[in-house]
Structure 1
Amino acid sequence: MTPLDHAEQAALGALFLDPGQLERLRYWLRPEHFDRPAHTALYAAMLKLHAERHPATAEDATGPVPLSWITDTIQEASHHTRGLTAVYPHLLVSACPRSEHAPMYGRMVLEGAIHRSVTRHADQLHQAALADLRTGTADETVHHAEILSDVLADLAHVWGTEPRPLPPPTTQMPHAGPPPPVADQGLADEEYLLGCLATRPEQLLGLVHWLHPDDFADRGHQQMYRALGALHHRGEPIDQLTILWETQRRGALTDGTLTTERIRSICGPLAGGGAAEHYGEQVLTASLARTAATAAQQVRALADQDALAPGQLINYALYALSPLDDVRRRQHVARGNDGGPPRTSPQVPPPPALSQAARARSHPRHPGSKEPASPAPAGSQPVARPSHRSPS
């Protein structure tokens, strides 16, 4: 078993030993934070029994924990999962080193849940981005990017930290995966856009503020757009020959990125004469999907690093998503929207019932207080309730 499996068992074992520990976990530890379905069902059953004022969870309850706490929990959990037996709670109790350490075990469970949640939503964003690249759209990409951003914000508040983008150190920077595939239509749109700008260079004025060279998937197209921008910036004539000359000066012919024949073909007299802004938006939309795919790969790689604490993972993931925010802002400018910039930062407020962050530790003991004995594994007799009902 993994350390996370042991942590889930210990957390539930602590709650079987001392139901009063639910008061220290129920505001921030949720059933879905448990990985194993049986553990999810058991914890949900405990929360339900607590809400229904089960005698074992009463604030003034004293004495041994009644066996009904175990039997009622098993009965309720069995409505939602299969395979639970009366023996399993006793195995969970035996896996719990100290019942008063329940908040720490709960933190371990929550930490595992945060890594799994980030992984799942990063995978969904990556799949949506690849699908949009094939269709030439970005609606699903934007939708899943907002979901991932909101999930990171929610996880930050549950963990007890503020979501803020932070660059990871070099040693923890994930390696860039293979670039997403480029559809033939996407490359055709880039070539047609460059042809439009070569034949009608005045259209550059409507694009230079929101379309960047890196938005082009093809390296040769990036160099040609840089050459067009440089000529436009210097106020020099733009035609097939001046573009070829400027591209040569930038070394794109020497390093093999472009050839003379390719440039002349794209910028020839029969090149596209359509509206450059339309094809510019198509190029930017494809750039949005590619940027999202790359960011999703980086977030997934971060989530795979078990050594990252949840706060680090959340903030590093937000930093990985920041290039996507920039492309979305430029897309907003390209479309001429007047309703304000698109939402890019997390907007999820902290849960109102969060009275104690997940970072809570066991309360320090007063000098001179006695250390309680370690709880004994439960057998066929009623579980001995710790002498301290209130959280220690």
Structure 2
Amino acid sequence: MGAWGKELQVAVKMLFTVHRQVIFLLCLLPVLYTLFFGGLFYKNSLTMVPVVVCNLDVGDKGQELVRDLADTPELNVTLVNGDADTDKLLAATNAAGAIVIPQDYTAKISSGSCATVELLAAYGNTVEGGTITKAVQAVISAKNAELIAKYRLSAGWEMAQAQGAQLSLSTRTLYNPTGGYTDFFLSPLILHGGQIAMVFLLGPSLVLEKRYRGKEMLVYPIRVLLVKLLLYTLLGTAVMVLCLTIGIGFFHMVCRGRAGEIIMLLLAYMSCMVSFALLVGAWVKVPYRAITYSLFYIMPSVLFTGAIWPRSSMDVVSYGLSYLLPIGYVADDLRSLLVKGASAGLEVHIFILLLWGMFFSCMAVWGLKHALERKKNAGNYVAGVETAGS
């Protein structure tokens, strides 16, 4: 068996001995991310968002509007009496929105004047705030269309003309019809879970392996790191595919892309993250430092990917940071493949990920060579045997 074959045999053996806990957690963490966040976004839409309504109108039109709001499934309406100030209404309750119907609402509607209903949506939670705003706007739009048709009939229009001569919008969504939060959030979070598991586990384990194998590992850094790169890239990609399969099968994620393109993107991404983990593990001396140094690079990365906040609306600094993070080249592409079936920059981003991986790998090789030189200069090796001082 050649040197490469022996190194592969050693690496596989260590997977199931020294690193067995690492491998277990490496497989478990992304799956847990998928299950927990998939369950969190599984409903894909908000219902029964608490809203308080203060109806100052004593006429029948005000009561009719309250009933229409209460019949909306997105809203959980509580009718209150008292202050018409929406800010005070929200402050006095735990509601996410407050609606005030003015006291002259019926009179203005009956006379053909414009009546204004006040809505205050608390955007402390943007999803709740957006849901309330859209639901109330839908009710008001329906009431407005009904009033327009009524006035047209009173002006002598035919019934078909009065009800049909209106502007309508036909909407088709690429996401789940009920909202698409799973499609929007889950795939970037799966990628984030994968990079956390790979970097926070593989980096420290490489530090321990340097101590365990000693000079044997440091003398041939290219061979050692390439074998690890191959094994962990295949393992990480398999875990990512499993997580996406769970998301598609159990949490109804949309998947319109070709499997080959998705796997190629995941292979490039995982090879890049494995290379980064090896880079960190090759340079640090203490396992906890591998986690500490990686923390500042990995943890905020999902916010700079463009998958949650679009790159087109980022400031210059954030825009630049988004291209210094490997996940920034994959998160939007993966979601586009799943949702739209194609991604315009896929080939370019795969190539850039491979370049990043090559850079990280070269730096990791340099780190192991530097560690060997450091040990030699310290006199910790005598005739190729590590002394107790190392």
Q: Which has the higher strand share?
A: 2
Indicate whether the TM-score tops 0.5. Answer: no
TM-score bucket of the superposed structures, by smaller chain: under 0.3
- TM-score, normalised via structure 2 length: 0.24
By percentage of residues, which structure has more helix? 2
